[in-house]
Amino acid sequence: MFQGETAITIDDKGRLAIPTSYRDLVARECGNRLVITYNPFEAGSLYLYPQPVWERVRDQINALPRTKSVSRNLQLKLVGAASFVEPDGSGRISVPASHRNAVGIEKKAVLLGMGDKFELWSEQAHHAQIRRTLGDEDLGEDMLDLQL
């Protein structure tokens, strides 16, 4: 569904323009209803889900036992922080200030299409992540059979 890397500028009002190549797909797949929340696995980024995908993720997370701290942390970071966003007439969405501040997104950001969702990274965190993964020679056993 979504793939690719796009440099994004966040305007003074905290809005980003969804790349034109994704706008029709976002409108068709989720009626322009997106959900933005924290990436619970890596600092410096947010998840941006189409609403139908988000609802499946939300239901899985909420089904986890609230008495386990790892489950509770996931529920807080994903479900508790989730905000609905819709593109305006110019294809821009508002990224809540609390989300931008928490992950360090300022003017420059990177939007990654990750299949069923987007990841929105601060430019600095994205560059640091790329440098780490490019130098990572041990990709793990499960990667050995991939035909890259």
Question: What CATH number is given to the structural domain containing 21?
Answer: 3.40.1550.20
- Alpha carbon distance 55, 44 (integer Å): 23
Question: Is there a domain that residue 8 lies in?
Answer: yes
The range of the structural domain enclosing residue 108 comes to 2-57+83-134
List per-residue pLDDT tens for the chain, 148 residues long.
899 999 999 999 999 999 999 999 999 989 999 999 999 988 889 999 999 999 999 999 999 999 999 999 999 999 999 999 999 999 999 999 999 999 999 999 999 999 999 999 999 999 888 888 776 555 566 656 665 5
Question: Is there a domain that residue 103 lies in?
Answer: yes
Question: Is there a domain that residue 62 lies in?
Answer: no
Question: Is there a domain that residue 64 lies in?
Answer: no
Domain count, the chain: 1
Question: Is there a domain that residue 75 lies in?
Answer: no
Tokens of 136: 């990572």
